[in-house]
Amino acid sequence: MNLIEKLKSKDNTGIVLRNTLMAAVVKGGSLFIALFTTPAYMHFFNNDEVLGVWFTLLSVLAWILNCDMGIGNGLRNHLVYAINEKDWGKARKYISSSYLFLSGIGVIILLVVVVAGNFVSWNKVFNIQLDLVDAGTMTKVVQILLASIILQFVLRLVTSILYALQEAFVPGLLNLSTNVMMLGFVLLSNALGKNNSLVSLASAYLMAVNLPLIVATFWVFICKIPETRPSVAFFRKDYAMSVLKVGTAFLWLQVIAMVVDNTNNYLITLFVGNSAVVEYQVYNKIFNLPMTMVMLVTTSLWSTITKAKAENDWKWIRASYSKYMKIAFLLGAAEFAVIIPLQWIFNFWLGDKTIPVNYGIAVIFALSGTVMSLRTILANYSNGLCELRVQTIYMTIGAVVNIPLAYVFSRISGSYIAIVLANIVSMAPYCIAQMLWCRKYFKARIEQ
């Protein structure tokens, strides 16, 4: 079977290939946009401390998105089975129950955070001096970003539905749309001399991140699967609890992954300083490119594994696992290969804002990228199979030790690279344990 025939095929391999190919186009656009985004932000703000606060604000407030009780991931796994059976009534009940349940949670979180926010000094929380950003501005920015996050909280459910529909490249397209709009706003502001405003940037972010989700929601429920449109009449408590039951396990994994993946900016702010966040972002953008490739090639993997499990296609699952382990090795090699031309890349990319390469730091970033890429691939198999025990145990241990390690390493080194090193030490044991488990698990299923 040639490539064209494989792409047209309706089997699991065809689904993965089609989504990967379409996602490649989207990711290519994202990489092109990313090439200009960081320098644009560096010109938007006159002070690296303020830019560091912006990066940290986004990462910290995004934590709220992990408080969805795992509803999105629970819905994703249940919908795959309902869609595979073409049971649209069941699918509509799952979707309606999930939207209404999550909307209620969103309102509660909004009320709690708004009330608590009146007693918080956001300048102290984000370690930014009042002469750089006054208290009123910080409060306004946090409120705008909070509104944006709460909207995403519910609207983002559409991405879980798209994954279940095997339209896994579309969420990447939504993210690309957001990045294009944000880059356009920053470049226009720089050109007009309207830059250096956290409030205007936060307002632009609110529109840019939610508008694509709104458009996608209308497309799914008007054009794609109108028979599953959410309705209060189709809310079922048992369906909501069923989604929640599966989602709770995913929720814990989301929370502990957040401790490792989404706290780096904040930990650097606390242990080193806001200005260090900017240099961290420069290195991270480059060494995160192989991770972008991992996200590309695993675009539809989770849901396709769930589909293959429902079909008892264990040979396909094991064969795909072998292929993805080879991909992980190649991307790890790419992480270290990029170190060689790194100074040239910085010079070309950042122009007059370039920084000198520290090759010791570069090696640690390359190792971190390798570990995180492998972790992502392994987690796709664990999540798709809904076999979460190994992931839960080792990720929990990793999350518990990550912040103490970051603190100790930062006190020793005085550098932000301590936080990256803590990520490596805390996540490597999970990768080893999950690989051993997968080998045993697949062997047992094939030999049955």
Please tell me the predicted confidence (pLDDT) of residue 310.
80
Do 306 and 80 touch, CB atoms closer than 8 A? yes
- The rounded distance, in Å, linking the Cα atoms of 163 and 174 is 13
Q: Is the pLDDT confidence value at 82 over 60?
A: yes
Q: Is the pLDDT confidence value at 9 over 80?
A: no
Q: How far apart are the two ends of the chain, measured CA to CA in Å?
A: 29
Q: Is the pLDDT confidence value at 6 over 70?
A: no
Band of residue 213 on the pLDDT scale cut at 50, 70, 90 = very high
Average pLDDT estimate for 65-78: 74
Rounded to two decimals, the pTM is 0.69
Average pLDDT estimate for 25-29: 75
Do 412 and 273 touch, CB atoms closer than 8 A? no
Q: Is the pLDDT confidence value at 7 over 70?
A: no
Dihedral sign for Cα atoms in the order 156, 250, 262, 172: negative
Q: Is the pLDDT confidence value at 250 over 90?
A: no
Please tell me the predicted confidence (pLDDT) of residue 280.
92
Phi, psi of 40 (to 5 degrees): -65, -45
- The rounded distance, in Å, linking the Cα atoms of 228 and 395 is 35
Phi, psi of 293 (to 5 degrees): -65, -40
The pair of three-digit structure tokens given for residue 378, joined into one six-digit string: 């392994």
Q: Is the pLDDT confidence value at 85 over 90?
A: no
Q: Is the pLDDT confidence value at 28 over 80?
A: no
Please tell me the predicted confidence (pLDDT) of residue 66.
61
Band of residue 67 on the pLDDT scale cut at 50, 70, 90 = low
What percent of the chain is predicted at pLDDT more than 70?
93
pLDDT tens-place string over residues 145-201: 888 888 888 898 998 899 888 787 788 888 889 889 999 999 999 888 888 888 999
Please tell me the predicted confidence (pLDDT) of residue 8.
56
Please tell me the predicted confidence (pLDDT) of residue 14.
67
pLDDT tens-place string over residues 260-302: 887 888 899 889 888 888 899 899 989 988 887 887 778 778 8
Please tell me the predicted confidence (pLDDT) of residue 55.
82
Nearest by Cα to 23 from 158, 160, 173, 162? 173
Please tell me the predicted confidence (pLDDT) of residue 369.
93
Do 64 and 240 touch, CB atoms closer than 8 A? no
- The rounded distance, in Å, linking the Cα atoms of 142 and 118 is 11
Residue carrying structure tokens 């044991």: 429
- The rounded distance, in Å, linking the Cα atoms of 132 and 116 is 24
Band of residue 45 on the pLDDT scale cut at 50, 70, 90 = confident
- The rounded distance, in Å, linking the Cα atoms of 168 and 278 is 32
The angle formed by the CA atoms of residues 327, 388 and 107, to the nearest 5 degrees, is 105
393 contact partners, CB below 8 Å, separation of at least 6: 433
Secondary structure string (H, E, C) spanning the chain: CCHHHHHHCCCHHHHHHHHHHHHHHHHHHHHHHHHHHHHHHHHHCCCHHHHHHHHHHHHHHHHHHHHCCCHHHHHHHHHHHHHHCCCHHHHHHHHHHHHHHHHHHHHHHHHHHHHHHCCCCHHHHCCCCCCCCCHHHHHHHHHHHHHHHHHHHHHCHHHHHHHHCCCCCHHHHHHHHHHHHHHHHHHHHHHHCCCCCHHHHHHHHHHHHHHHHHHHHHHHHHHHCHHHCCCHHHCCHHHHHHHHHHHHHHHHHHHHHHHHHCCHHHHHHHHCCHHHHHHHHHHHHHHCHHHHHHHHHCCCHHHHHHHHHHCCCHHHHHHHHHHHHHHHHHHHHHHHHCCCCHHHHHHHHHHHHCCCCCHHHHHHHHHHHHHHHHHHHHHHHHHHHCCCHHHHHHHHHHHHHHHHHHHHHHHHHCCCHHHHHHHHHHHHHHHHHHHHHHHHHHHHHHCC
Q: For all residues of the chain together, what is the average pLDDT?
A: 85
Nearest by Cα to 302 from 91, 74, 10? 74
Please tell me the predicted confidence (pLDDT) of residue 324.
92
